[in-house]
A and B are shown apart, each in its own frame.
Chain A
Amino acid sequence: MSVDPADIETKLNALWDEQQDSHTVRASLFNLIAFAPDPGRKEALQTIVDAIVERFPCRILMIEQHTLPLIDVDVSTYYVGKLSGDTVGCDLITFKSPENLLARIPYLVTPHLMADLPVYLLWGDDPTRPNPIFEPLMKLSNRLIFETTTSPLKFAQPLCALIKKLAKPVVDLNWVRLANWKSLFVKTVEKEAVERVEISSGREGIPALYLQGWLASEMQWTLREFHQRPGQLVTIFNHCKIETEVTNSPSLDQLHFFAKGTEFFFQKLEDPLVVLHITRGDTCDMPQTFPLTDEMGSFRFWKDVFFTPKCDEYPSLLETLKI
């Protein structure tokens, strides 16, 4: 229901009071401020929010840039599951604002953050793009979460600067999605021996670039050249050439590592599995299958997003990708 900003808490309390006898639990582990720059992006962001609250019920403060002439505030309860017979739900406060009034939004959000609980900013846009509400909201937040939609080669430099300035944990969902690929690689490939890599990746090659940025940072390779052709990215480091085929798939599909005559070929099968073929000269090992639990449906994924302490791995890989 649309409400006057002065009545947000009263109306929310009234909504919960109405359900007092229906075994509902009003849960809240943290404050989640989510920003969508347009209604289209809101849909994608909503999927992420749904996945979050399913695991971690929280107070959601959803900000949607809209074409409405004035700011509209809406409150509702948001049911996320059952616990011992009780329905678990949380608060949802939605602020819809036209672009010219966006600067007013932090004033509306601030009074409704729940004290003592962490504040996470889920930014549904490129955080390096100027936006009047980013800085004031970030000032209130303990952690920035976003999802890259463009090549990290374009924003590595400004993002590095932003991370330094914020001095708070910064999490790109695309980076967290690679957690399982990284551990698979570490378990199976002798990274010092890698001479050439071929990757097949969706999402405009973002996962592939992140993976090679991480590898380069681990190996202290230096980026020498970068070429972009239709459907293909080529990055040349001082010790390794990496070719990426950009596909339409939603994630990383295939990884080929060539290391001292041995070929490691990871192929993503039906979720959530990856099969590894190792070829040494003329011989092939028996294929090995690994679970892939790094997607948004997993607890581990969201645990990494929200609770991993600030670490240098992500900024280091961005440094490697600076052009």
Chain B
Amino acid sequence: MNSLQASRTPEPCIFVIFGATGDLTARKLMPALYNLAREGLLPAHFACVGFARRDKDNEIFRKEMLEAVNQYSRVKPVDPTLWDSFSQHLFYHRSAFDKDEGYASLKTLLKDLDTRFGTQGNRLFYLSVPPSHILEIVPRLSQNELVYPSDHPKWSRVIVEKPFGNDFDSAVALQKELRQYLSEDQIYRIDHYLGKETVQNLLYFRFSNPIFEYLWNNHHIDHVQITVAEEIGIGTRGRLWEGSGMLRDIVQNHMMQLLSLLCMEAPVNLSAHAIHDEKVKVLEAIRPIEKDQAVRGQYGAGIVNGKDVDGYREEPDVNPQSQVETYAALELYIDSWRWAGVPFFLRAGKRLPKRATEIAIFFKKAPGNLLGEEVASNVLVIRIQPNEGISLKMNCKVPATNNLVPVKMDFKYGSYFGSTPPEAYERLICDCMAGDSTLFARDDEVLTSWKLLTPVLERWAQAKVDFPNYPSGTWGPAEGDALLESTGREWRLL
């Protein structure tokens, strides 16, 4: 099996979206389905059903989805002929998530659509809903025989959005509950970072370029910095954010996934199972995080893009005394043969000066002082978003002098590949239809990550901090800088 190299062909199915009137459906899911149709990547036998509480019919749903695709699709304008054809496969089913009769009528609808579209009884359920609804929906799917046993000739799969649990205990509990109704190979825990081309390229880059892979260890790497920076605040997500925070929202999932892909050993093959196995080994090897290796921050009022912005505590639906973090930084160590002694610095923050997600690998400095001055580290930067690409910082002699200056070689996806890369959701939906879970998080990855971070969350819950501790538009709290300065390093200026 060679699952990373090319998706298997999506199989005939009905794609059911729970929470079809929500933001994610409009911004990501429907544009992804439309673009898959445009690229000819949807199965020929396909239908999509939106399941939600609001009262509307198929025509209104289709009209709203057209508006959404017009607004959010990466390719515009929408092709009217294609849309006419595609939209005939869209349906709306009105029901509350906790009403049994809604599932019985869904079953009838899906059977009818199977007959009309030849979808062969295969089902893909996308749970685009808050975590509290997951256990309202999945048992009812099971009770109404909308999900099949995993050895059934027809397949049924469930995509679950993050967060998967709120800490280690709740994630274990959720996993146990889900496993009463679904087998692990039917659960697809989506982490849209894994669908990004730049993230997928991490493994290709490492294992197809020996010049780097030979250096990919503690003999040559001084430290690694992983940054997820956003200029936006929490916006209208105040209520949701108050129940999560940066460690849960970004670090536990996206950043730990990046870290595991960056640090894993070469898998025995490219099957989903082999790759997941190697990723878990990395997560399991991370040393427990000490108190002084975790820093949190919360943004205050400041200036972003020239405009005054409110502090977190002034945002809608946020407790004016909130202790929830909008910035987190960690110093991690992976106790493996390859990575022993190499610090990994992770930081994620909102209302930072610019949007940037990247991995920066700092190589060890040249030994000695042959050139008579401090020689900067070589730095390999993998830019996940925006300006997707890879750059290498080197030292170069300034012509006609004996001085050194850092220069960089820069590869940009846009310059080489031209067209807009597919959205992460396109790849992930397509993979799920094809039964390929490589780019989804497996249960043990999620649980190991929670196991590592839950003690930090517990410590933070017990100690109050004098928030806010960084103004919007700056690179986070002074404690975040001190985390590196204490090791004689500093954050890379992005």
Contact = CB atoms under 8 A, between A and B. Distances in A.
Interface of A: 4-6, 29-30, 71, 73, 104, 107-108, 110-111, 113, 115-119, 140, 299, 303, 307-309
A4 B304 CA distance: 12
B381 A116 contact: yes
Contact of A6 (B305, B374, B398, B406): B305
Nearest to B356: A115
B306 A71 contact: yes
**Chain B facing A: main interface SS:** loop
Given A111-B231, A115-B493, A140-B493, A309 B405 contact: no
Given A29-B405, A118-B406, A307-B401, A110 B305 contact: no
Given A116-B379, A299-B400, A111 B353 contact: yes
Nearest to B393: A116
B408 A117 contact: yes
Contacts of B493: 113, 115, 119, 140
Contacts of A6: 305-306
10 contacts: A5-B305, A6-B306, A104-B303, A107-B353, A110-B473, A110-B474, A110-B475, A116-B408, A303-B400, A309-B374
A287 B424 CA distance: 77
A307 to B, nearest CB: 4
A5 B408 contact: no
Interface in B344-402: 353-354, 373-374, 379, 381, 391, 393, 398, 400-401
B400 A116 contact: no
A4 B398 CA distance: 36
B266 to A, nearest CB: 29
Contacts of B408: 116-117
A108 B474 CA distance: 10
Contacts of A5: 305-307
A107 B304 contact: yes
B405 A307 contact: yes
**Nearest 8 Cβ contacts at the A-B interface:** A5-B306, A307-B403, A107-B303, A111-B354, A6-B305, A107-B473, A110-B353, A111-B353
B381 A108 contact: no
B58 to A, nearest CB: 39
B374 to A, nearest CB: 7
**Chain A facing B: main interface SS:** mixed
Given A107-B353, A111-B354, A116-B381, A308 B403 contact: yes
B482 interface: no
A71 B305 CA distance: 12
B492 A107 contact: no
B391 A116 contact: yes
B403 A115 contact: no
Interface string B298-333: 000011111100000000000000000000000000
A6 B393 CA distance: 27
A128 to B, nearest CB: 25
Identify which of A5, A73, A107, A119 gathers the most chain B CB atoms within 10 Å of its CB: A107
B173 interface: no
Given A107-B474, A118-B405, A309-B374, 17 more contacts: A29-B405, A30-B405, A71-B306, A107-B302, A107-B303, A110-B353, A110-B473, A110-B475, A111-B305, A116-B381, A116-B391, A116-B393, A116-B408, A303-B398, A303-B401, A303-B403, A307-B404
B461 interface: no
Contacts of B60: none
